[in-house]
Amino acid sequence: MPRTLLLLCLALLLSDGGPLQALAATPQLAQAERKVLPEDASPAAGRLEVTARCDPLRPGESVAHFSWSPVPGPEHRQRLDVTGLRTGFADGDFETIAELPASQQSVEWRRAEAGINYYWRVLTLTDAGWVPSPVARFEAPTCPVDYERPQDERPEGAVPQQPKQQ
């Protein structure tokens, strides 16, 4: 910890770019900017699974539950990347939806668009860089919405329809 503080103070003294540029010189932030290694590198997370379903509490919304086996060891950080494009990871067109501690094995995501095939991976941070898991795929479900507006959202003078009795 004292070494990090010393580096930060030294960077502040020598920096013309202000405190934000100085922070980029700290080891923790430099570590996060490491490159992504090839898919066959190890150690990588494994046993990737996803369950995508309609959220029973939020009509019209889906939820994807991702789970995996993380790389053992408390020193490894993880992140989960998602893309809607088959070549998204290679092209850099993806979203990191979560940065996670080493022990975490699952995460939920609620931003999937209906009917889209998504590709996802878990990356593990090592001294050499980010080690990607194999890429997995899932299709976001289409979640229908069928509900009656609450009383306070109805247009003025609207009368709710009563079910017909037979």
Mean pLDDT for the stretch of residues 89-105:
90
Mean pLDDT for the stretch of residues 13-41:
50
- Reported confidence tier of residue 39, pLDDT bands at 50, 70, 90: confident
Mean pLDDT for the stretch of residues 4-25:
39
Dig out the tokens for 125 from the structure.
Answer: 């941070």
> In angstroms, what CA-CA distances link 64 with 56, 57, 104, 109?
13, 14, 16, 5
Strand boundaries in the chain, DSSP class E? 46-54, 62-69, 77-83, 95-100, 106-109, 117-126, 129-132, 136-139
- Reported confidence tier of residue 166, pLDDT bands at 50, 70, 90: low
Cα 60-153-162 angle, rounded to 5 deg? 85
User: Which range in 6-20, 39-53, 98-112, 148-162 is most confidently predicted, on average pLDDT?
Assistant: 98-112
- pLDDT for 68 equals 93
> Would the pTM count as exceeding 0.85?
no
